[in-house]
Structure 1
Amino acid sequence: MTLRTALAATAAAATLAPTAQADVNIYSYRQPELIQPILDAFTEDTGIATNIAFLNKGMVERLQAEGSRSPADIILTVDVARLAEAVDAGVTQAVDSDTLIEKIPAAFRDADNHWFGVTTRARIVYAAKDRVDPSEITTYEDLADPKWKGRICTRSGTHAYTLALVAAMIHHHGEDATKTWLEGVKANLARKPQGNDRAQVKAIWAGECDISLGNTYYMGQMLKDPEQEAWANSVNVLFPVFEGGGTHVNISGIAMTKAAPNREDALKFMEYLTSDHAQEIYAEVNYEYPVVPGTEPSDLVKSWGSFTADDVNLIALSRDRAAALKLVEEVDFDG
């Protein structure tokens, strides 16, 4: 790490200097509008304030540079691979909490209690209502069918969401078959991979393509945005499955940093995210699927349909991420 990078990390960390003894300091990859309602509710219900730094990248590197002097107590992120990366880098610590272990299913938490899932989301297909018969796409494997040539839009193959899906394909079919599938999907692209999930839906609305991959919660976000509502209304939400499996899901999750200066209150925050109130906020405000059994999705989310989640272990997905990236690069998916 260069001196400039280290100094920048230290300067940025200074903005998180605690303002009260009971503050919880958070580094987050999650978008501000998705997290603030949870933070506000936590403070209102517990009296504990939060400080948060929203990062686009470099969270692990920042924590490593700060070392034992890091002000961060908590990391919030999406995708199990990012959580596993933090654990492998040695910047998290195991958490001893009966509440977390009892409420969060084993499939959605680290075996050594370093990280815990707080929501799930499905990786689904958005399909043009007026140009695609929903019965034509029932599996992820269908996306490589030549009938979709020039009709698919997607974000970068190297994005965490894409790599997780490719890793799941490797789990089900092996690397050779997954490489062939990637080549087929690439041959069907209407344009070079670009933009985020909402940008793909906009492209469908504009007639640039007919189908795309995206996370479920983006539909809710688009529907509440006057500018994007038309995009959302132009597509159907389809829940494909893997041949021999279910619909691909991933998580957003939380971990306590190794250096956490406010461990007691940080643990209270982690446990709070599994409370009925917090899970309901995630469901109603973020349009995500609650991870705690017995907590219902919002009515809007339910209206999109039900699905059977794939049973692949999320830790296995994180282990296959390197192989997934290798295949994406071999087929020059973004080229």
Structure 2
Amino acid sequence: MNKTLCAISGAVALASTFFSAAPALADGEVNIYSYRQPFLIQPLLDAFTEKTGIKTNVVFSSKGLGQRIAAEGENSPADVMMTVDIGRLDGARDLGIAAPIESTVVSTNIPAEFRDPDGMWVGLTSRARVIYASKDRVDQTAITYEELADPKWKGRICTRSGQHDYTIGLIASMIAHHGEADTEKWLEAVRDNLARKPAGNDRAQVKSIYAGECDIALGNTYYMGKMETNDKEPEQKEWAASVRILFPNSEDRGSHVNLSGVVLMKHAPNKDNALKLIEFLTSHDAQEIYAETNFEYPVTPGVAVSDRVKAWGTLKPDSMPLSDVAKYRKAASEMVDRVRFDDGPAT
């Protein structure tokens, strides 16, 4: 059995075990399949239950949930799917598991650029793909994504796999802005500027800067907050203190952002409760919880970022709709393989 099928089977077993204790059709419940780790969303779900009295049941898996829901079909207990990355949000449509979210509350709370044009998903928070730069070895205070191809960075860049959703999203945005031919030349140059083969998660890139293995790295903004407040692993606070965030392209089109979001399931057994949950997640109160606990950027107008996030600098987000960027994700993935990005420099 391949890894994907194993992951799906694991989600199947987990879902079966969890929901056997709480029938999906029971009143006052909503069943959530989540790619987001439970500790990240639990404060929101607790607030929702306190406000509405509706119980939340959560199944978490890092992969395979969309395929699981598609396989369950009309018998799926899932009411909503919570996930990160525009690829997974858009992928729910491709799998045929999404239903239109028809709510004036949602359309009022969330600007159009953070909603699917057909209502098949709604963004809940954004995060920027930024540059972590060594405080000791990088003097400049501004940068562009295009500049990552400059030979001055040769042997100085770290990043995670080119096939990770976060990297694919950035490359897709570059294709959207510059076309495939120019983006491929750029990606080859970035590959040759890498300090090592792509590896690890975003925090690992900051650790590499701290260790002197590279000087700059690509990463999502909220990881800085997670490291700065990590009392269980205090060494991560030292990693974070060794870098500062640079927001790419702040002086022109703005930094690439991605979304966390929610999808209403086509066969949701508790549709009314699912809509109540989605509406709550777009509310001012819920967006404040997101901002304070997850160090993400609220997408509901009028909700401020946390003081910690504000201290990193001002984000000017790229105004290109993510639904347009998502069109180039397949081309981005193919490009990563074509240039052998994950083989690292001197390929």
- Match of 1:165? 170
Deviations 1:109-159 (A, max 9, x none): 011111100001111000000000133x52001111111111111000001
Question: Does residue 55 of structure 2 align to residue 49 of structure 1?
Answer: yes
1:238 aligns with 2:246: yes
Aligned partner of 1:141 in structure 2 is 146
- Specify the SS of the correspondent of 1:320: helix
- Counterpart of 1:271 in 2: which secondary structure? helix
2:82 is aligned with 1:76: yes
Q: Distance in 2 between matches of 1:244 and 1:130?
A: 27
2:118 to 112, 132, 146: 112
Matched position secondary structure for 1:63: helix
The count of residues paired between Structure 1 and Structure 2 equals 333
Instruction: Report Cα offsets for 1:159-209 as digits up to 9, x if no partner.
Output: 111011001101111111101111111111111101110110011111111
Unaligned runs of 5+ in 1: none
Note if contact 1:121-1:215 (Cα within 8 Å) is conserved in structure 2: yes
Distance 1:223 1:11, change over 3 A: same
Matched AA of 1:311? S
- Structure 2 CA distance for aligned equivalents of residues 43 and 134 of structure 1: 47
1:15 counterpart residue number? 17
1:209 is aligned to 2:214: yes
Encode CA deviations 1:52-72: one digit per residue, 9 max, x unaligned. Answer: 111111122101111111111
**Please, what is the CA RMSD of the aligned residues?**
1.7
Q: Give, in angstroms, the shift of residue 244 of structure 1.
A: 4.9
User: Following TM superposition, where does structure 1 have runs of at least 4 consecutive aligned residues deviating by more than 6 angstroms?
Assistant: 4-7
Counterpart among 87, 92, 103 of residue 86 in structure 1: 92
**Percent of aligned pairs with the same amino acid:** 57
- AA in 2 matched with 1:54: F
Structure 2 unmatched ranges of 5 or more: none
* Structure 1 letter corresponding to 2:13: A
Cα deviation for residue 7 of structure 1 reads 6.4
Q: Does 1:175 align with 2:177?
A: no
Paired position in structure 1 for 2:198:
193
Q: Look up the equivalent residue of 2:56 and give its one-letter code.
A: T
3-state secondary structure, aligned to 1:102 = helix
Provide the TM-score with structure 2 as the length reference: 0.92
Distance 1:279 1:91 in 2: 26
Q: 1:10 Cα deviation (Å)? A: 4.2
Q: Distance in 2 between matches of 1:243 and 1:307?
A: 11
CA deviation profile, 1:298-334 (whole Å, cap 9, x unmatched): 0111111113211111111111101111111110000
**Partner residue of 1:259?**
267
Structure-2 separation of matches of 1:242 and 1:190: 25
Cross-structure match for 1:122: 128
Q: Which residue of 2 aligns with 1:269?
A: 277
2:318 is aligned to 310
Quick check: 1:141–1:242 contact (8 Å CA) kept in 2? Answer: no
Instruction: Tell me, yes or no, if the aligned pair for 1:141 and 1:243 is still in contact at 8 Å.
Output: no
The TM-score, its normalising length taken from structure 1, stands at 0.95
Distance 1:112 1:102, change over 3 A: same
Which position in structure 2 is the counterpart of 1:153?
A: 158
